[in-house]
Amino acid sequence: MTRCWVLRRLRFALTELLSNHTTFRIGGPARHFVRATTEAQLIAAVTDCDQRGEPVLILGGGSNVLISDEGFDGTVVHIASRGISATTGCFGAELTVAAGENWDDLVAYAVAHEFSGMEPLSGIPGSVGATPVQNVGAYGAEVGSFIQRVRTWDRRDQQWRSFAAADCGFSYRDSRFKQEPGRYLITEVNFQLPVGDLAQPVQYPELARALGIEVGQRAPAVQVRDAVLTIRARKGMVLDPADHDSWSAGSFFTNPILSPEQLATLPEDAPRYRFGDGFKTSAAWLIQRAGFEPGYGEGAARLSTRHVLALTNRGGATAKDVLALAREIREGVAARFGITLVPEVNLIGVVI
């Protein structure tokens, strides 16, 4: 199958509004928009643009991006590949998943088939292929802990490359794929999970309380998934077209990692969790203690009414509106605590 034939099979659109493809509901037009439903289509579209010098934006579920109001002056390639295959044995379960699969659908699939480990990551919007980039995590779990292999197309060297988990450079909200932005197209992710109806030991106090267990104890994976979805919905973190509190990119800032010296400057009641050689604290706690309450803001861009770590589009917000609010919050936290918050959201055509 030649690349030209694959390109002819692609669906191209002109001046597609990117706000239709992001959970923020924000983003101007793309000069060209391509929906790639197979690995071959994805590689053909991106390689064609690279050879012509055309700017390319790879878009999955659109759940972790803030795109400029001016849009993207190039080709946006939407990864829409599908496919989940699973095998089981003495090693547990091995899942091979196409990059375009919906992440929460995969979690639901794993729980239904009694493959344990993913349940704390329930309700996170976006695609499977995006999760290794940020090393997505929540409620004491990180996706990197059960990834076995990531299959990619190396745009620089024009060849296939597969990375074992140990070679992915996973750390807190980071990976080699994030450190080398744009180089690797993730086309497939391979996961290895234990088999059983019990979740892995619950590590997050809020989740343990919701389940009525102690940290470190286990509960049925179905119950853990239900509890996580309830907690996330209560915080506006489950995507709902009718709920403006969910028109966001989730947590806008990462939780800061502090040295012992930095931690010593915070009030004694500041959250702190041992993290490597330092400590992780709560960005949400810093934001609220700096004077930004739930619902803070004027106009169409405001903090969620339920969770201050989410910046939301109340309807009609622009990227400029969101950035103005983000800057105000970052400057307020820096002035109060001397800590500069770092965006977790990918900023496309904009800077904070």
- Residue 218 annotated as catalytic: no
Catalytic hit among 116, 127, 251, 304 = 251
Catalytic hit among 25, 173, 289, 302 = 173
* Six token digits for residue 285: 């706690």
Query: How big is the CA angle at 168 (ends 96 and 283), to the nearest 5 degrees?
Result: 105
CA–CA distance, 192 with 295 (Å, rounded to integer):
40
Catalytic hit among 39, 101, 188, 344 = 344
* DSSP SS3 for 103: helix
Q: Give yes or no for a contact between 202 and 209, defined as CB atoms under 8 angstroms apart.
A: no
CB count in 10 Å sphere of residue 129: 28
Q: Give yes or no for a contact between 77 and 57, defined as CB atoms under 8 angstroms apart.
A: yes
Residue type, 50: D
Beta strands of the chain (E only): which ranges?
A: 11-17, 29-36, 56-59, 65-67, 72-79, 84-89, 92-98, 137-138, 141-142, 147-154, 159-164, 184-193, 248-251, 257-258, 273-275, 278-280, 301-303, 310-313, 346-348
Residue type, 234: R
- Residue 282 annotated as catalytic: no
Characterize the bridge pairing of strands 141-142 and 273-275: unpaired
CA–CA distance, 124 with 244 (Å, rounded to integer):
16
* Six token digits for residue 20: 């239709």
Question: Is residue 322 left, alpha or beta, with left meaning phi > 0 and alpha meaning psi from -120 to 50?
Answer: alpha
CA–CA distance, 271 with 60 (Å, rounded to integer):
33
Residue type, 229: L
- Residue 344 annotated as catalytic: yes
Active-site positions read 173, 251, 344
